[in-house]
Amino acid sequence: MKELLKEMHSWMDAYMKSFHTDDEEVMQGIRIKEIHTGYVTAIAVQLAKHLQLSEHDVKLAEIMGLFHDVGRFRQYSLYKTFNDAASEDHADLGLKVLSELAFMKKLAPEDETLVRFAIGRHNKKEIGPAPSKKALLFAKLLRDADKLDIYRVLSPYLGPENADKAPKFIAADASQLISPDFIEDFKAGRQADYRKLRTYGDRKLVRLLWIYDINFSWTLREIVKRGYVDRIIHYLPEQPGVDEGVKRLRAYIAKKCAQEDAAEL
């Protein structure tokens, strides 16, 4: 597995570099995805070790982190966007890329199935039915690792003074106001329908609603410790229902962070 991991890292590094271009606008997005890949890979390993997974399973988590966004690069090459709704689901596209790689068959069949399931579900609104407890665990792990780093990626663009500097695939309608449907979701403590995203305020609130989809208390404690929750709340507009949603969210965070994590295999 150690040599296979080296081969995978070398391939991914070369693959990402193959999308480099003199177009600075394109490179802004490519660089973000390259750096994000490195962070998610490291976080996945850290979380796997926290859950006291076996050495073998820690390496599987590393593979999942490494390839979780491999579809993003072909997505931009084909469609000139990172918007799944306007192109193709990047996780599904990533699975197509992985199917073309001979070294994936060096994994045991059950391990390849775990990797593909976790990557295929990492960006969906819900994980959905899993073929096994282990598959569900890895899907939860990868989703947490991905979200933790996306908070880092988006954090600089939360304030109205920086909204216009956000890359096109992050930006939206410049309005800081939150749509009524999203306010109701926030008050109820539930995930929102991403297809209804209209304003920059909607996008900020969705990042808070992700908190209800964080699977491990370790991840949530990291999100809180790094100040991401307070930063988003600080930049929310003053609208009816926002304070109610914040109160509910903080109570949930306190309860979740007090829990202990356990890997159910």
pLDDT beneath 70: ranges in the chain = 159-174, 265
Q: Which two tokens stand for residue 115?
A: 């990797």
Render pLDDT for 22-41 as a digit per residue (tens, 0 to 9). Answer: 988 888 889 999 999 999 99
- Point out which residues pair with 173 in neighbouring strands: 199
The pLDDT value recorded for residue 25 is 81
The set of residues, in sequence order, having a beta carbon less than 8 Å from that of 31 and lying 6+ positions away, is: none
The pLDDT value recorded for residue 165 is 56
For domain 2-152, give the fold: Hypothetical protein af1432 (1.10.3210)
| 198 C-beta neighbours (distance < 10 Å), count | 15
Q: What is the pTM of this model?
A: 0.92
The pLDDT value recorded for residue 40 is 98
Chain mean position to CA 136: 16
The set of residues, in sequence order, having a beta carbon less than 8 Å from that of 117 and lying 6+ positions away, is: 130, 131, 135, 138, 139
What is the C-alpha end-to-end distance of the chain, expressed in Å? 21
The pLDDT value recorded for residue 208 is 93
Q: Which two tokens stand for residue 91?
A: 């996780």
Angle at 81 between CA 117 and CA 136, to 5 degrees: 15
> Domains of the chain: which residue ranges?
2-152, 171-257
- Point out which residues pair with 199 in neighbouring strands: 173
The pLDDT value recorded for residue 78 is 86
Render pLDDT for 166-182 as a digit per residue (tens, 0 to 9). Answer: 555 554 556 789 999 99
Are 94 and 70 in contact by the 8 Å Cβ rule? The answer is yes
